Structure 1
Amino acid sequence: MCAPGNHVYWHCTADTSTTCVPCPASTYTDEPNGLIKCFSCTVCDTVQHLKVKKACTRFADTICEPQEGFHCIKPNKDSCVLALEHTECKPGQFIKQKGTAFTDTTCADCTDGTYSNGSLMACLQHSTCETMGFIEIKAGTTSSDAECQKVTSVENIKHNALTKVAVTHYDKQLRMMNRNGRISWTYFDKPVLTEGHLGLTVGFPGETEQEGQRWWGFYKLYDMSTTFMRFLFLLFVLRPFGKACGPSEYKSALGECCPMCNVGSVVHSECRGDLSTTCKPCTPGTFISEPNGLHNCFTCRNCVESRGLYIQSKCTTMQDTICDVLDGYHCIDYSVSQCSHAQKHSVCKSGQETKTPGTKTSDTVCVDCPHGFYSLSGLNCTKWTDCSARNEIETEHGSSVKDVTCTPKGRQRYGLTFPIVLTILSCIILYLAPQSTSKYMQDSYHPVEETNPMNTAPPIHNICEEQVVSQESVTSPTGNLV
């Protein structure tokens, strides 16, 4: 057979082996084979929402994967043949599980009291208008938030201190001024109202436009002095231009005090007259963590591992990503009370010890070993070895990075020296004794000639010399055994 990446050029015969050649471009074989042609490489069809994950080679086919936003519905081994677009969650649903290359998006319905436009990873709680000092003008649904409107002291006075008077005449000027049914304080100098008084105008529901007239409700202040009218004028007309908005309001581009948007949402359209602020939720990857009057959410921060950080808490529409410092690192730069850059702890060198281990907020503190101590790894300083306490001698001094070197003392071989000395003394005695005896015998007796000189004993001094030599041969010149 031919090896993977090749095909048969000539089949074998009785006398010749199979001849193989490499697969041409855009073809492949991925197993040993006897094919005369290689397989054509698969094309990742964009119409089927596919893209190339791994290009074709002589030894393996193309591997296709779904395009972004699609998931595979017809896999083939490690590749994909057909992909389908991820399901989009509907308003009133949230994304329970994001779609992947091989799984579809999972949606779930929002519960009562929450809402989602279909793009959120979690449903948001409806705004509670009362707690923000507003009134609810439209109840929230599973797909939209409750709509709130600010309560002004103008409306309170309208119900308590004003008397409503209905008139049947058509006033074009007032109609144009209030064509949107907008509540406003305005100053009139007309016969209908006493000069110097303030009037509150509001569009009346249920007008009879068939008669060509429009009913308007006029609210007239009765029995109020000019002084009190000026006070109201300053209070309700000039105050918005000279005083800051309330704690739950922001100043719009037109100078009106508009209700702020809740956490997790920003302004879609600003308030205007009776129309309250319209808010929109932050998109994934953005957040807003406080009530606000902003038009754009903040981008979620990234916890970069190369900067010594990891994600402790993922970003939501109501809270930014919380990063923490990796083990073995300490923070060197902070941004908005969070660490933005961390550095690896210092490693103590040889000859030093760790005085204080590093933490997430501080680096390792190293100190040099004092004299008489050493450290190999930079963790702890160890005292030099006392050679004398071990009955050894110091042959090499220590330093801050190494211990002293001790060597055992040479042993005194008294047991071997004594026999040598005793042997030498014995030989001297044996050597001198025959001479004195021979002299004594010569004085007492006549010499007799030996008939067998070959049996004559060797001289005693030669024997002693041999014994001494034999004893010395087992010892070294230094007194040690060889």
Structure 2
Amino acid sequence: MLSAFLIFGYAAVFMVPVLSCQPKEYKTNGEQCCPMCNKGTVVQRDCTAYAGTRCRSCEMGTFMNQPNGLYNCFPCTACDTGHGLFVKQNCTATTDTVCDVLNGYYCKGLTDSNGCSLAEKHSQCEAGQRIKEPGTSRSDTVCEDCQPGFFSKDGVNCTGWKTCSESQIKVEEGSSTSDVVCGSASRHRYVFISSVVLFLIIVICLVTTGFVKARHCQINSSRMVEMKYGQKTSRWQKSLSTDTEGERGRREEEAEGSVLPEGEGEGECEGEGEGVCLTIIDTTQGDITVSFEELLMSSVLGCDIMLSALLIFGYAAVFMVPVLSCQSKEYKTNDGRCCPMCNKGRVVQRDCTAFPGTQCRPCEMGTFMNQPNSLYNCFPCTACDTGHGLFVKQNCTATTDTVCDVLNGYYCKGLTDSNRCSLAEKHSQCEAGQRIKEPGTSRSDTVCEDCQPGFFSKDGVNCTGWKTCSESQIKVEEGSSTSDVVCGSASRHRNFFILSVVLFLIIVICLVTTGFVKARKPDKSRK
């Protein structure tokens, strides 16, 4: 009977219905507690009284990341590149796919594994704005309008308006999208002065020409001009228009050797012809014979020649006068000449001369020039070192430098003047017992923080609060910063205690009863 009671007692302990299963067990539909399957497997068949739980492995494209009592694995997450996601970590039998955002995108939906499920492209700041806070993998770009006196063409940085020097004047005002345009004050000043001088020269020539023509008309009306040298004069009249050959011969004979009385011959020429006559003076040095027509034509022609020469000189003074500074799209050579700059993607091969302009040559492979310039060599393209966490985001061209960006898991430690990365370093990994306070970005390292009391972290990602054991459970193991509280079934322990007490009492009763029976049984040996 004692053996029967012992078997009954232990059977009662392990076959009594329980209120809840152990942490590593699951309850079947038949209210039976079976051992869970490990990570990467799921239940193929529940346990029986004689055999444990039979598990099967997860198929390709599925996973199971926890001990379980499930019958199917979870499907792996797909990272949609069309929505700015890429596969950071492939799906395995025990872990889901980890998606992260492509460069130029930020995450709008986080998963439990700190991966991303939805991303959106960074906003682009407009001209007249600057990037106040650059977009990260977890936040969008924050834009800000340029302050007065600053401008931005590409929506990246605001640059202050240039200040024109003392040798320049402001040609065009600046705005939020364009800079102030300065021009050479010296050139404008020379143009103004030369224009005024040229205007005065033209006026003087016109007045002189008009005066000569007016005198021409006066002489035609007076019929004769007389030029007198000293006291001894002689007169030689020459018809300039209508006198015939015979009349001119007769006039010459009459005039030869004659002396003009005082007061005679002033104001008119002899004869009734319509021609213009000029009195030539017979001096002791010899006769000078010049027609008035020749004299008049020489004066007018000389004035025209002088006017043309002054016009040429005026324009030459405008365009060939030495200037103190060159225009904004020009550069000054070693000998002080102003030459046109070469365009982007080209550099100077030969400076300009009086006739041909600047001769430029294109940048060779591996070099670039990103601005109008007066240089003789292109800039070398930047190399993106993958060994230091960089990759080529945009290849180098003749007009733009290589654009480097940081690989996933790295952050930039060295920025260039154009806000590009030249040096990167790997993100720090938080330890067990810590959490990620601020995730690392392409511009900053990960910031870690210790878990508060009552929380734990196994993987250094998130801090999770310790579990609270229910009324049907008891605390089997205390929690720490790296592990959770372990709870056990209070009902099983309570039933085991009660049944143990009952079994103890039964055993005691059996022993007492057995002893009493033996005591009451007569001793046959005494008989």
Q: Which TM bucket (shorter chain)?
A: 0.3 to 0.5
**In proportion to residue count, which structure has more strand?**
1
Question: Which structure has more RCO (C-alpha within 8 Å, separation ≥ 6)?
Answer: 2
User: Of the two, which has the highest radius of gyration?
Assistant: 2
Normalising by the residue count of structure 2, what TM-score does the alignment of the two structures yield? 0.40
| TM-score, L = length of structure 1 | 0.43
